[in-house]
Amino acid sequence: MITEKSVPSPKITATSVSSKPTCRVVRPGSTYAGKQGLNYFEGIAAETVGSTGICMHLLTIPPGARAKAHLHASHETAIYAISGETHCWFGDQLEEHVIVREDEMFYIPAGVPHLPANLSDRPATAVIARTDPKEQESVVLLPDLEGYVPR
């Protein structure tokens, strides 16, 4: 029989990560500015829980906002759209386009250039998981591709 015990969850910080892996609860609270030009809620990452093969965080893209063109070197990305819709241009010259809507999932292979944008009048929120435990380490900005997507 499995029983549940309610235990207060402390704020996880880099100094509270033990060397022995253990289960952790992370409540998105504070945000950080990503290299991509958007603000991310802190989530599961090497820096917060000591993960070694995955990161997962929450992102809300405000209406009219867009990320910078970028790719994630050597790491795959999986996205689950909670609310709203996000346009994403992808490919070597951002020549492909898809709209990811609420309750849909989107996969981005490692090394694929992409640029997400919220062209709607309401926020778009998604859960993002990546095979890179250090969430920002594999981000490679691609400023030469910025002009391929209209503002």
Residue 128 lies in domain: 46-146
Does this model's pTM top 0.85? My answer is: no
> Token match 């209406």: residue?
63
Tens digits of residue pLDDT in 137-150:
778 999 999 999 98
Is 101 within the bounds of a domain?
A: yes
Alpha-carbon gap, residue 64 to 99, rounded angstroms: 15
* 7/68 Cα distance (integer angstroms): 40
Q: How confident is the prediction for the chain on average, in pLDDT? A: 86
| CATH number, residue 117 | 2.60.120.10
Residue 81: its H or E element: strand 77-83
Is there a domain that residue 114 lies in?
A: yes
Per-residue pLDDT averaged across 83-103, rounded?
98
Structural domain contains residue 104: yes
Q: Check pLDDT > 80 for residue 19.
A: no
Model confidence pLDDT, tens digit, residues 101-113: 999 999 999 999 9
Q: For residue 36, tell me if it sits in a domain.
A: no
Number of domains in the chain: 1
Indicate whether 110 belongs to any domain.
yes
Question: Is 9 domain-assigned?
Answer: no
Q: Which residue from 88, 111, 76, 74 is spatially nearest to 38, judged by alpha carbons?
A: 88
57 domain-assigned: yes
Per-residue pLDDT, 16: 52
Q: Is residue 27 part of a domain?
A: no
How far is the first Cα of the chain from the last one, in angstroms, to the nearest whole number? 56
**Separation of alpha carbons 65 and 63, rounded Å:** 6
Beta bridge partners of 100: 86
